[in-house]
Structure 1
């Protein structure tokens, strides 16, 4: 039966149900005639509206029919009118085309794998894959390798968390990447130590002292040392910072490193002095602002924290400091 015939019969039965209420006959006959005609009309209207849905709704057609039937049956006349309006709307104004079905979606590359700056997965995406034990081992290894090729505190934390994985192969790879990262820094320290012993001029010796200062700090920052060695590495980093200053003077990067060390040692006055000196000597505001805000926070000067973080609107877009800057904007 075509949709036009279903519509005509539905309207006829609905009108018949209404007429039955005004015909002179016993009440029980009126009720029976109304109920029968109204049920048939409701069924026809629900069939009509369900038939216009695309094929992808076929498994749910019984549920849709029950929904439309209930609406038409329990709201006499007005339910049928609403269904007719809906039918006209979907037919004339809202086209429900067939959706293109897909079976798989290519996963975005990790940021370290992408040749250009594009949509990709960073450390968060890699960690979500790695901790999903149901994922194929190759994908988990790929995630570990992608992040293991980077550097920084988050990378070290990621690798250390991976060393406790239940998969032996992933755990061994994480240990290997941690060891390789530490060996790279230790090799830089050894080379700089030898160069410092054989260095002739102040400029050459200062370059080796500078390398040692930043290399020891990298061991601390990347959490590649235990508590006992951590204090020693901090002292060594500060020692070579001072030696570099004595040989060739200070610069903004050394001042920032000195401020970081004092901040780690809870020497807030010295840290603030070093960070402010770095700003005066040309350090970028976006680099020193987080440290100045942290120092203001330790002093419980929350107004200054909010003011400092508001100076650079791009801070809220940067990893690490971004969520902090967004929080203090509220």
Structure 2
């Protein structure tokens, strides 16, 4: 019995609500039509000292309230929120745009029913900050620099494209482009030759200018701590000339001698600089002096230089000695820590 009463009650409530909406709409339209008719009367004049527009405004207000309330109940549920703002918008339409405002509201209802908006189109939500995924580093596409360099050395490519590629590699480290730039010094295209020479010359001048400034600070009256700091900087700058492929032949040998000279002078004053021991070790590897390189690397490790950063050079030293088991052991300790693509491929080769 109760189960039968509840559906009947719900149906009755729905019918009553529909009737109220219809009545409110009809009354609203009636009041609005009366307001329009009143405002269009040619004999509109004040009655009893009352402004003739006041009854028109009153009827328009009543019509706007009735129509806005009725339309709000007819709107699809997703368009009813926020409740007061929605009602206020409908009320403003009906109040300030007589008749046409009702048509706009009606068209909005029809549009919302037959062409509903996708609820997920503009959905906004809060998400937590993403965590850095180390394993995704290996998926980064590399090789754009290599493609540019390949385009540079290919004489079959248009001159404008080669010049554009040459300008593009200016942002790349000189240590990766120095060899290509030197090869381009003999290019048959004058623009390419001049641009390559200018890039090499500019990079070299920046370093040599700094070297001259530091050399002028060294004299017999320089304090020991200043001698140590200046000598360290000079060793690093001369090493940059070698590392960036800016010097070759006799100039490279001279730069290597200066690296050793000033590194030795700095470490004689303060031998705790682990990075400077590593620089001497790398220079010894460049000269194939494996024994000295190993000794320098041991000094660097004993002074706190990170072992994982030193493993590639330890592996190179073992390779020059012919100790391939030590090469594999040194590189296998890197594992996923090898971030550079070239180094990663070497680690994979020696780990399999």
TM-score (norm 1): 0.58
Of 170, 176, 188, which aligns to 2:192?
170
Asked if residue 145 in structure 1 is aligned to residue 167 in structure 2, the reply is: yes
Asked if residue 124 in structure 1 is aligned to residue 154 in structure 2, the reply is: no
| Change in 2 beyond 3 A, CA 1:252/1:212 | same
Q: Supply the RMSD in Å over aligned alpha carbons.
A: 2.3
For residue 215 of structure 1, report the CA deviation from its aligned partner: 1.4
Could you list the per-position Cα deviations for residues 91-123 of structure 1 after superposition, in whole angstroms to 9, with x for gaps in the alignment?
xxxxxxxxxxxxxxxxxxxxxxxxxxx867542
Q: Distance in 1 between matches of 2:337 and 2:174?
A: 18
| Change in 2 beyond 3 A, CA 1:150/1:195 | farther
What's the counterpart of residue 159 of structure 1?
Answer: 181
Q: Distance in 2 between matches of 1:291 and 1:285?
A: 10
Q: Distance in 2 between matches of 1:244 and 1:293?
A: 27
Of 294, 299, 306, which aligns to 2:316?
294
Is the contact made by 1:148 and 1:159 (CA closer than 8 Å) also made in structure 2? no
For residue 315 of structure 1, report the CA deviation from its aligned partner: 5.3
5+ residue gaps, structure 1: 1-117
User: Higher mean Cα deviation, 131-140 or 207-216?
Assistant: 131-140
Report SS of the residue matched to 1:195: coil
* Equivalent residues in 2 for 1:57-136, closer than 5 Å: 122-136=144-158
Could you list the per-position Cα deviations for residues 134-190 of structure 1 after superposition, in whole angstroms to 9, with x for gaps in the alignment?
545444223212323333432211211222333221111001111111111111110
Asked if residue 327 in structure 1 is aligned to residue 327 in structure 2, the reply is: no
5+ residue gaps, structure 2: 1-139
Is the contact made by 1:316 and 1:326 (CA closer than 8 Å) also made in structure 2? no
TM-score (norm 2): 0.55
Q: Distance in 1 between matches of 2:281 and 2:342?
A: 19
> Whose radius of gyration is greater, 1 or 2?
2
Count of residue correspondences: 213
